[in-house]
Amino acid sequence: MARKWLKSLVKGEKAEDSSSSEGKTNSVVHVSDADFQKVILEASTPVLVDFWAPWCGPCHMVGPIVEELASDYEGKVLMAKVNTDENTQYATQLGIRGIPTLIVFKDGREFDRVVGVTPKRKLEEKLDAALA
C-alpha cells in the first residue's frame, strides 16, 4: 500500500485512497543515497526527512513523532528517514552536522530545518507552512 502511494507521489499522480483496513500502516519510507533524488527531490508533495542513526538516543525519541506525523499527514506529506551511518552522500551535501536533523523539502528544495528533539507541534507548524 505504501509503495503504491509512494510511486504515485513520485509520478505526480493523485494518491489512492488508503483508508482500507487491509493492514493499514502509516509508513515512513526509508530512503538511501541511491533513491534520494527520485523519492525526496522529485516528490510531488512536501517531504519531511528524518536524518538519524541507530546509535543516536535522541533519534529514537523523534522516531515515534515522525510515525505519528505520517498518520496525521497521510496523503499530504511524505515522511522519510535516512540512516546517516549507511547513507552519507546527501547528509554531507546538506551539511548535516548533528542528528536528529529533520528537513522539510518542498518542490525539490529545502524549505525548513530543525536539529535535535523537536516537539510534534513545532513540526506540525513547519509542515502546515509547507502545505500553505
Which residues carry out catalysis?
A: 56, 59
Q: What is the DSSP letter of 23?
A: T
The owner of cell 515522511 is 79
Q: Which amino acid type is present at position 126?
A: K
